[in-house]
């Protein structure tokens, strides 16, 4: 991996500049002291490089059905460095792989995995004293979580969806810091097994409580949430619900949107949530944001560039406060009114981490699928009570499992706007004929379609990685 190798060569210099504790940053006279060697050093490596981490969502975000770009913007892309997004946007069979290399989803994720591997390798060389055990556990648990979290997000773009029968098109699993070692692709089952193994081990090591002002460090609740999300994709619904409940027992508080003043004209144009790394957000479990590539079009959802997908906006019914919390009217200099997204839990960036609202919906879905109707209704109604205007709220009472499941999935789409989850939801739900759908783009007088379970739901691996590592490319 050429880019990763470049980072590896300069790793010591990076650490000396900003990756470790103050003591470690001091100029050392002995070469043996110029590398991280204490628990604090390895914690500092994680804090610096995952503060917060960017997640791999560029392709899935631009390929899903949450927003559409205008024809004008489509034409502009042809002359820009990210012109490959034209191919991504229409799920092209042939993508401009030279420009495709500009995207950081793959390389940056593996760089994060390298940092996690480096911390894991280093911390194992330290025998902690009883007084150091908690700090040692936090380093190892955090590194395992970070590795699992980034492999999870990579798998949603570059690995085929999980199915009962295995598929060879999983991820190359790097589990040590030596990036010169060539690693072949693992199968899909092996990929998800590694994600689970890391997340389960991290849950044993991480603290049950994390500081309310620091969600860039994961805690036990974050590990439980990631485990639940992984089991959901594996269709292990009983296990997913089990870990969702463990997560919510630690981090189950919800924001009452009735208290956000969404009807106050003074708040129409204000971002709904503070840019404080989730410190003031009681729903926050783990804070991360999407890579900049995610927002190439989305960050400019306004006139002549992009707009929200009409099918998404049509979902919000009267009394649903989310519409006013998530979207704001914007008036440009010509007086043209259009919508802008203001509902990210990361304010100006796009939140892609873990929060309680998602886990409530996950738990409700899994309980509906396993015929635990009362539990599903409890979680669903608890969320909706905090999202619907009090004068409009009426609890869902649907007892039919199939109908209830449809309601929950609909609420998931309305709740999880621009969280980076829509693409993975499309991939997993397409396996069920009752939920499968054809995505359609109409632009420049042409119609483009993405049928359910199409190989194009998995994006190509960058060609440089194919060439350098001898990897097999994803079929399209």
What confidence score (pLDDT) does residue 331 get? 65
pLDDT exceeds 90 at position 271: no
Name the one residue in this structure whose structure tokens are 């390298």: 114
Distance in angstroms (rounded) separating the CA atoms of residues 145 and 40: 18
Distance in angstroms (rounded) separating the CA atoms of residues 399 and 31: 68
Q: What is the mean pLDDT of residues 192-212?
A: 93
pLDDT exceeds 80 at position 260: yes
- Confidence at 10, pLDDT banded by 50, 70, 90: very low
What confidence score (pLDDT) does residue 213 get? 67
Count of other CB atoms within 10 angstroms of residue 127:
7
In sequence order, the β-bridge partners of residue 54 are 289
Output helix, strand, coil percentages for the chain, rounded to the nearest 5.
50, 10, 40
What confidence score (pLDDT) does residue 18 get? 39
For residues 232 and 366, the answer to whether their CB atoms sit within 8 Å is yes
For residues 305 and 333, the answer to whether their CB atoms sit within 8 Å is no
In eight-state DSSP terms, residue 351 is B
What confidence score (pLDDT) does residue 340 get? 80
What confidence score (pLDDT) does residue 425 get? 98
Distance in angstroms (rounded) separating the CA atoms of residues 291 and 351: 10
Distance in angstroms (rounded) separating the CA atoms of residues 198 and 109: 16
Distance in angstroms (rounded) separating the CA atoms of residues 105 and 294: 9
- What are the sequence ranges of the domains in the chain? 39-469
Percent of the chain exceeding pLDDT 70 equals 87
CB < 8 Å & 24+ apart, contacts of 325-333: 325/257, 325/260, 325/262, 325/272, 326/272, 326/417, 328/268, 328/269, 328/270, 329/268, 329/269, 330/269, 330/302, 332/302, 332/303
Q: What is the mean pLDDT of residues 454-458?
A: 98
For residues 378 and 360, the answer to whether their CB atoms sit within 8 Å is no
pLDDT exceeds 50 at position 75: yes
- Assigned token pair, 347: 């304010």
CATH code for residues 39-469: 1.25.40.390
For residues 214-238, one letter each, b for 16 or more C-beta atoms within 10 angstroms of the residue's C-beta and e for the rest, the string is ebbbbbbbbbbbbbbbbbbbbbbbe
Percent of the chain exceeding pLDDT 90 equals 69
| Residues whose CB falls within 8 Å of the CB of residue 60, separated by 6 or more in sequence, listed in order | 156, 157, 420, 422, 423, 424, 459
Return the axis-axis angle of helices 220-233 and 133-158, rounded to nearest 10°.
Answer: 30
Distance in angstroms (rounded) separating the CA atoms of residues 224 and 247: 5
Q: What is the DSSP string of 53-117?
A: PEE--HHHHHHSSSEEE-HHHHHHHTTSTTTHHHHHHTT-SS--HHHHTT--HHHHHHHHHHHHH
| Residues whose CB falls within 8 Å of the CB of residue 337, separated by 6 or more in sequence, listed in order | 329, 330, 331
pLDDT exceeds 50 at position 6: no
For residues 262 and 184, the answer to whether their CB atoms sit within 8 Å is no
Which sign does the torsion angle of CA 163, 168, 169, 173 carry? positive
Determine the 3-state secondary structure of 355 from DSSP: strand
What confidence score (pLDDT) does residue 34 get? 57
Query: pLDDT: is 34 or 2 the higher one?
Result: 34
Distance in angstroms (rounded) separating the CA atoms of residues 42 and 122: 7
pLDDT per residue as tens digits for the range 103-138: 889 999 999 999 999 999 999 999 999 999 999 999
What confidence score (pLDDT) does residue 33 get? 43
Q: What is the mean pLDDT of residues 53-78?
A: 87
Q: Could you tell me which of 433, 436, 427 has the C-alpha nearest to residue 456?
A: 427
């Amino acid at each position: 991996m050429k880019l990763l190798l470049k980072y590896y060569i300069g790793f010591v210099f990076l650490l000396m500049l900003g990756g470790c504790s103050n003591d470690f940053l001091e100029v050392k006279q002995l070469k043996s002291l110029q590398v991280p060697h204490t628990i604090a050093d390895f914690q500092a490596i994680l804090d610096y490089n995952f503060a917060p981490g960017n997640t791999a969502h560029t392709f899935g975000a631009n390929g899903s059905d949450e927003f559409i770009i205008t024809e004008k913007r489509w034409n502009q892309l042809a002359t820009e460095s990210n012109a490959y997004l034209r191919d991504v946007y229409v799920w092209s069979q042939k993508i401009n792989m030279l420009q495709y290399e500009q995207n950081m989803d793959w390389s940056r994720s593996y760089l994060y995995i390298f940092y996690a591997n480096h911390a894991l390798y280093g911390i194992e060389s330290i025998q902690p004293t009883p007084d150091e055990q908690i700090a040692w556990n936090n380093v190892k648990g955090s590194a395992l979580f970070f590795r699992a979290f980034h492999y999870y997000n990579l798998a949603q773009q570059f690995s085929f969806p999980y199915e009962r029968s295995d598929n060879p098109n999983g991820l190359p699993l790097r589990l040590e810091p030596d990036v010169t070692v060539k690693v072949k692709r693992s199968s899909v089952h092996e990929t998800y097994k590694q994600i689970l193994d890391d997340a389960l081990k991290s849950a044993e090591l991480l603290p049950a409580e994390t500081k309310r002002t620091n969600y860039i460090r994961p805690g036990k609740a974050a590990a439980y949430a990631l485990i639940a999300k992984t089991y959901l994709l594996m269709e292990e619904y009983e296990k997913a619900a089990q870990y969702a409940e463990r997560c919510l027992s630690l981090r189950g508080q919800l924001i009452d949107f009735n208290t956000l003043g969404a009807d106050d004209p003074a708040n129409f144009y204000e971002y709904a949530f503070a840019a404080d790394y989730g410190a003031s957000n009681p729903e926050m479990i783990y804070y991360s944001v999407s890579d900049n590539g995610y927002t190439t079009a989305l960050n400019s959802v306004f006139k002549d560039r992009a707009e929200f997908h009409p099918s998404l906006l049509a979902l919000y019914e009267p009394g649903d406060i989310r519409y006013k919390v998530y979207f704001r009217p914007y008036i440009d200099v010509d007086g043209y009114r259009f919508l802008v997204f203001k509902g990210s839990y990361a304010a100006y960036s796009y939140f892609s981490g873990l929060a309680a609202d998602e886990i409530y919906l996950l738990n409700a879905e899994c309980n509906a699928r396993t015929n635990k109707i009362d539990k599903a209704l409890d979680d669903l109604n608890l969320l909706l009570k905090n999202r619907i205007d009090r004068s409009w709220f009426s609890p869902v009472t649907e007892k039919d499992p199939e109908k209830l499941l449809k309601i929950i999935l609909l609420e998931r789409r309305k709740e999880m706007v621009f969280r980076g989850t829509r693409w993975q939801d499309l991939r997993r739900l397409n396996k069920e004929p009752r939920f499968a759908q054809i995505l359609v783009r109409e632009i420049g007088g042409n119609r483009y379609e993405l049928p359910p379970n199409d190989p194009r739901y998995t994006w190509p691996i960058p060609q440089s990685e194919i060439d350098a590592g001898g990897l097999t490319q994803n079929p399209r």
